[in-house]
Amino acid sequence: MVEFEEWIWYPLVGAFGSLLVDLLLSLCISVHKARTASVKERCTGKPIHEVTPFSNRLQVFLAFETGIGCAMCRFCGPFRRFLISDSRAKGDKYDKPCDPATIREFSRGYGIDESELLLPIEAHSTLNEFFYRKLKAGARPISEPDNPNIATVPCDCRLHVFRSILQATELYIKAFKACPREGHFQSRSKLVDMG
């Protein structure tokens, strides 16, 4: 880190140079810290660290963790359209045929248990096919089927669970504060405990 600061500091002078150095250093530190997602494995409780590609980390940081990026996401139509088209381009890429080694690398990168697969990895021709793969019967049994307080999620996902709607009144979704309004869930009151 010191070498980077020294390398960029000397050619830049004045307040603008100092501001630029601070911005670049904070960018490097933030992107470096965000290189992994740490989650707990549901059965063992052990932490799992998933590595995120640098380009994804940089894009998320610039779009959602800087004031300019947040403003552009909210108020700049061309920027929002760029993010949408970029997301669609990635989806199209995942629809294109790929090498089974690429799918296996993805599977290992996210700790997917290949023994649960109904078909071998080689039977999936695209990453999207692998995303909605079929599992062997009994691979993910329902935990405590008679307990209404337990939810079993058979898919691979990150799930945030709250005991009540009131606990979830302040959520940050891609840097935007989302606050469920009182009565917003009344039409589903039989399904949702208002707390």
Q: With H, G, I as helix, E, B as strand and everything else as coil, classify residue 51.
A: strand
pTM here? 0.54
* Contact yes or no for 140/154 (Cβ under 8 A): yes
**Cβ burial 73-98 (10 Å sphere, 16+ → b, else e):** beeeeeeeeeeeeeeeeeeeeeeeeb
Percent of the chain with pLDDT over 70: 61
* Other Cβ atoms within 10 Å of 21 Cβ, number: 15
Residue 173 lies in a domain: yes
118 belongs to a structural domain? no
Count of domains observed in the chain? 1
Residue 68 lies in a domain: no
Mean pLDDT of 171-178: 52
Helix, strand, coil percentages (3-state) for the chain, rounded to 5, are 50, 10, 45
Task: Using pLDDT thresholds of 50, 70 and 90, give the confidence band for residue 124.
Answer: very high
Give the DSSP H/E element, type plus range, for residue 91: helix 77-95
For residue 58, give both structure tokens. Answer: 């940089």
For helices 54-64 and 67-75, what crossing angle results, to 10°?
A: 80
Q: Give the pLDDT of residue 35.
A: 53
Between 127 and 154, the higher pLDDT residue:
127
Q: What is the mean pLDDT of the chain?
A: 71
Beta bridge partners of 171: 178
Name the residue range of residue 183's domain. 160-195
Q: What pLDDT shows up at residue 20? A: 54
Separation between Cα atoms, residue 145 and residue 133, nearest integer Å: 24
Q: Which two tokens stand for residue 111?
A: 């700790």
Pairing mode of beta strands 171-173, 176-178 = antiparallel
- Identify the pLDDT of residue 79: 82
Q: Confidence band (pLDDT; 50, 70, 90) for 195?
A: very low
Of 28-37, 62-71, 114-123, 165-174, the range with the highest mean pLDDT is 114-123
Written as one letter, the residue type at 93 is K
Choice between 87 and 181, residue whose per-residue pLDDT is larger: 87
Q: How far apart are CA 18 and CA 20, in angstroms?
A: 5
Is the pLDDT at 131 greater than 80, yes or no?
yes
Residue 171 in any domain: the answer is: yes
Percent of the chain with pLDDT over 90: 14
- Residue 114 pLDDT > 80, yes or no? yes
Q: How many residues are present in the chain?
A: 195
Helix (H, G, I), strand (E, B) or coil at 172: strand
In a domain? residue 133: no
pLDDT of 162: 72
